[in-house]
Amino acid sequence: MSLSTLVLKPGEADRLVTGHPWVYGNSVLRLTSPVADGDLVQVKDHRQRLLGTGFYNSRSKIIVRLLDRDRIETNEAFFRSRIAAALAHRRRWMPGATSYRLINAESDFLSGLIVDRYEDVLVVQISSLGMDRKKALITRVLQDLCAPRAILERSDTASRKFEGLADSQGVLAGDPVGAMQVKLNGLTFETDLAEGHKTGLYLDQQANYAAVGELARGANEVLDCFSFLGGFALHAAKAGAKQVHALDQSEDAIAAATRNAVANGVSDRVSFEAANVFDWLKSKTALGPNEKVIPRYDLIVLDPPSFTRTRATVPDALRGYKEIHLRALKLLKPGGLLATFCCSHHVDRVLFEDVVLAAAVDTRHTLRRVASFSQSPDHPVVPAIPETEYLKGFAYELVR
Ligand code: SAH
């Protein structure tokens, strides 16, 4: 098969040479022959040195998503080896897990493809035109390698629009699946994989749930802020924390989290409250002139949604992060622990810790860092592709 060649302008090859897979439209010098959107092309620098092969789409700002540094074909053998490698990575780094992200796009050298495994069901999410064309092939290879009960598609990301793709949801193999029980670290979580349902599951915190559970061992009082389905709260209770209170503004999430607490036999130790975390923390810490804040928690978890999707709104996001840290620190007992996470790609580890420290300066507290967290190993970080890293977290002891 002869492939068209896309030649880059001088100076545009460096990022690709270091292993980043995206070619932007404005770095293209020329195409040697016409290419249809979704086709495979080879990419060369202006000296004709091969940089790799990938899917082309003129409608996208990312005009080529490289799949390999060499010349390849996107045939069954290609997908079989990539998917088998992804599976081997999870088996190596999360040997006990039965639910995890099986393929995480760029992290697994399959830009445009995400596959989550929920027990014996796979959920596929495709975000590029080239990958979309390979859906049937990918489905077949997944059936072969994983033998799932069903393969569902939930391709509904905003990025599909930029690739000229409509949303696509449904059953790719097997029978429809609705509500099911998913195991994370031996705890049961209810999730509904059916179309349009709100209670999906964040898999990227699986390793951190276990780690924070350990921090909660022996705690009297734990506060889980932005708890969603109760991931941190339930792990804390299971580890032996005596009283866990969890907050989320979504009534649906609180209802599901409450059912999860019952399913795991910890409902006597966990309480859930539908509340805005900002307002709740404020009500406990902004008191009248003669009132005193009583620090009561041994562990506080902060795992908010990303406060910023763009670089431009980072300053606003930082104010939000500082605010919740400031108030949380006031509610923490001396010797207590703060486990805090940030899933915004635009706020890196250093900037995030700066915000925590700024809050500690304002409350006149001294913090000692006792743990650093990243996303679970099923969301692998490839340092050459900075976009693959987004979740960071720290645990601090409030020394005084
Ligand atoms: N800790 C969770 C993930 C949190 S995702 C887990 O481990 O699964 C962010 C959650 O924050 C969502 O459930 C959302 O409903 C909630 N949320 C967003 N803004 C909020 C606010 N201001 N107050 C309370 N909850 C909020």
How many CA atoms within 13 Å lie on the side-chain side of 294? 3
Shared-domain flag, residues 11 and 155: no
Q: Which ligand 1 atom is at minimum distance from the Cα of 303?
A: 1
Q: What's residue 1's pLDDT?
A: 66
221 Cα to the center of ligand 1, angstroms: 20
How many CA atoms within 13 Å lie on the side-chain side of 370? 18
Task: Please write the tens of the pLDDT for every residue from 299-328.
Answer: 999 999 999 888 899 999 999 999 999 999
Structural Rg of the chain based on CA atoms: 23
Shared-domain flag, residues 158 and 93: yes
Shared-domain flag, residues 252 and 302: yes
Shared-domain flag, residues 231 and 312: yes
Q: Is 189 domain-assigned?
A: no
305 Cα to the center of ligand 1, angstroms: 6
Shared-domain flag, residues 245 and 372: yes
Shared-domain flag, residues 240 and 383: yes
> Hey, whose CA ends up nearest to atom 13 of ligand 1?
228
Residue range of the domain that includes 88? 76-182
Query: 10 Å Cβ neighbour count for 51?
Result: 22
* 397 Cβ contact list (under 8 Å, min separation 6): 335, 336, 337, 367, 368, 370
Shared-domain flag, residues 238 and 363: yes
Which of 118, 149, 182 is where one domain is finished? 182
Q: What's residue 273's pLDDT?
A: 98
User: Does the CB atom of residue 227 touch ligand 1 within 6 A?
Assistant: yes
Is residue 137 within 8 Å of residue 110, measured between CB atoms?
A: no
Shared-domain flag, residues 366 and 291: yes
User: Does the CB atom of residue 280 touch ligand 1 within 6 A?
Assistant: no
Shared-domain flag, residues 215 and 304: yes
Shared-domain flag, residues 262 and 381: yes
Q: Is 10 domain-assigned?
A: yes
Q: CA 49, CA 292: separation in Å to the nearest integer?
A: 69
Start-to-end C-alpha separation, the chain: 68
Q: What's residue 195's pLDDT?
A: 62
Angstrom distances, CA of residue 394 to CA of 7, 19, 370? 44, 29, 8
Location of structure tokens 């030649």: 7
Q: Which ligand 1 atom is at minimum distance from the Cα of 229?
A: 8
Q: Express the helix, strand and coil content of the chain in percent, nearest 5 each.
A: 30, 30, 40
User: Does the CB atom of residue 253 touch ligand 1 within 6 A?
Assistant: yes
Task: Please write the tens of the pLDDT for every residue from 211-221.
Answer: 999 999 999 99
* Secondary structure in 3-state letters for 136-197: HHHHHHHHHHHCCCEEEEEECCCHHHHCCCCCEEEEEEECCCCEEEEEECCEEEEEECCCCC
> Hey, whose CA ends up nearest to atom 3 of ligand 1?
228
Q: Is 375 domain-assigned?
A: yes
Shared-domain flag, residues 245 and 350: yes
Residue of 101, 222, 226 best suited for mutating to test ligand 1, as the one with most atoms within 8 Å of CB:
226
**Total count of domains within the chain:** 3
User: Does the CB atom of residue 278 touch ligand 1 within 6 A?
Assistant: yes
* Residue 245, H or E segment: strand 243-248
Q: Is 187 domain-assigned?
A: no
Tell me the Ramachandran region of residue 228: left when phi exceeds 0, alpha when psi lies from -120 to 50, beta otherwise: left
> Hey, whose CA ends up nearest to atom 15 of ligand 1?
250
User: Does the CB atom of residue 305 touch ligand 1 within 6 A?
Assistant: yes
Q: Which ligand 1 atom is at minimum distance from the Cα of 228?
A: 13
> Hey, whose CA ends up nearest to atom 23 of ligand 1?
276
Low-confidence ranges of the chain (pLDDT < 70): 1, 195-200
User: Does the CB atom of residue 276 touch ligand 1 within 6 A?
Assistant: yes
**What CATH number has the domain bearing residue 226?**
3.40.50.150
> Hey, whose CA ends up nearest to atom 5 of ligand 1?
305
343 is a catalytic site residue: yes
User: Does the CB atom of residue 229 touch ligand 1 within 6 A?
Assistant: yes
Location of structure tokens 């599901």: 256
* Residue 131, H or E segment: helix 129-133
Q: Measured in whole angstroms, how far is the alpha carbon of residue 215 from the centre of its chain?
A: 22
Q: What's residue 198's pLDDT?
A: 55
Which of 23, 52, 68 is where one domain is finished? 68
Is residue 327 within 8 Å of residue 282, measured between CB atoms?
A: yes
